[in-house]
């Protein structure tokens, strides 16, 4: 998919879930920001071409990058890095994660180092993200090396 096709695809899929808060800012032909919470700008993602995405939610950053093995610890420090394969299925992964995080608030993060990338300049990690939600019926969600655990608000 080209970047303009991705904009349309995300719009059709996510605009119904986010309503008027959904907005697309087409900055350049290879750089697009998709805002999910309107002017609050606490929940959005940026497309860097068609194979790299940064998803921001409650001051946490999820990195999805086809060139993962070229990233170093200074690129990824404190961030949540997806270690799976980035291919034409990336838009579906992003949309699914966005819909999982909708109506949730960040409550904590645990990281466990599992190894090193081939260059040795960064660690491969597993993440457990705690998210608070009023929808106590939500079960856990797994996306490769990222697990989201839900708990009801006030617990």
Structure tokens at 22: 């959904």
Which residue segment(s) compose the domain that 145 sits in? Answer: 3-152
Gap between the Cα atoms of 36 and 94, Å rounded: 13
89-122: per-residue pLDDT in tens?
A: 899 999 999 999 999 999 999 999 999 988 888 9
Indicate the Cα dihedral angle 128, 132, 137, 139, nearest 10°: -10
Q: Are 42 and 58 within 8 A, CB to CB?
A: yes
Q: Quote the mean pLDDT of the chain.
A: 92
**Tokens 């996306």 correspond to what residue?**
143
* Sign for the pseudo-dihedral over CA of 37, 92, 99, 74: negative
Number of other CB atoms surrounding residue 155 within 10 Å: 8
Give the global pTM. Answer: 0.92
Per-residue pLDDT of the chain (155 residues; tens, 9 = 90+): 788 999 999 999 999 999 999 999 988 888 999 999 999 989 999 999 889 999 999 999 999 999 998 888 999 999 999 999 888 889 999 999 999 999 999 999 999 999 998 888 899 999 999 999 987 677 899 999 999 999 887 65
Phi-psi region of 133 (alpha: psi -120 to 50; beta: other; left: phi over 0): beta
Number of domains in the chain: 1
């Amino acid at each position: 998919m080209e970047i303009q096709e991705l904009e349309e695809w995300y719009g059709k899929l996510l605009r119904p879930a986010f309503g008027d808060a959904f907005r697309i800012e087409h900055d350049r032909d290879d750089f697009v920001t998709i805002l999910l919470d309107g002017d609050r700008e606490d929940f959005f993602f940026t497309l860097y071409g068609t194979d790299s995405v940064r998803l921001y939610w409650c001051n946490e950053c999820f990195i999805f990058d086809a060139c993962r093995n070229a990233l170093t610890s200074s690129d990824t420090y404190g961030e949540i890095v997806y270690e799976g394969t980035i291919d034409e299925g990336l838009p579906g992964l992003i949309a699914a994660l966005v819909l999982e995080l909708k109506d949730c608030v960040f409550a904590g993060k645990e990281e466990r180092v599992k190894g090193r990338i081939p260059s040795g300049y960064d660690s491969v990690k597993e993440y457990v993200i705690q998210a608070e939600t009023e929808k106590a019926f939500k079960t856990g969600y797994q996306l490769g090396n990222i697990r989201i655990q839900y708990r009801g608000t006030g617990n």
